[in-house]
Amino acid sequence: MKLIFCAVLAAMAPLVLCYDEKYDKIDVDKIIGDDAMFTGYLNCLLDKGPCDLENSTDFRKLLPEVIATACAKCTPIQRQSVRKTVKAITEKKPDEFKEFINKYDPDHTHEKAFTAFVLAND
């Protein structure tokens, strides 16, 4: 019985430890390069507009955990995508970035660890 329980846990571990691999296939460069799409995603994340773009509702739900854990459950591809996206927000939309931080880390509890994650190259 213990062996079966351990086998089930081992089979479920990837489901618990990582975000869905469907996010690995997202073309972040396309989103960042299309100002209307980029703004649409940002507006969703900041509750300023509808979440009608692909995966935008998921992103809004996952973002607090991504920030709080410095993307601990992200796959390597997702880690790079998050870094690229956050850097694009800081460069292209600095005012929205301030809103983004105030919404998702209002006490700046995770700021140091998340900034270190964004600047890392692993």
What's the CA gap between 109 and 8, in Å, rounded? 35
Higher local confidence (pLDDT), 3 or 104: 104
What end-to-end distance do the CA atoms of the chain give, in Å? 40
Predicted TM-score of the model (pTM): 0.83
Under the banding of pLDDT at 50, 70 and 90, the label for residue 115 is very high
- Residue 97's contacts (CB-CB under 8 Å, 6 or more residues apart) are 89, 90
Place of tokens 């998921």: 58
CATH number of 18-119: 1.10.2080.10
Across residues 35-61, what is the average pLDDT?
96
pLDDT band at 122 (very low <50, low <70, confident <90, very high): confident
Quote the Cα angle for 59-79-35, to 5°. 55
pLDDT in the model for residue 5: 37
Angle at 53 between CA 50 and CA 54, to 5 degrees: 140
Tell me the per-residue pLDDT of 95-111, one tens digit each, with 9 for 90 and over: 999 999 999 999 999 99
The full set of domain ranges for the chain reads 18-119
Task: Output the pLDDT for position 17.
Answer: 76
Distance of CA 50 to the CA centre of its chain: 18
- Whether the CB-CB separation of 78 and 31 falls below 8 Å is answered with no
Nearest CA-CA partner of 21 in 79, 84, 78, 62:
78
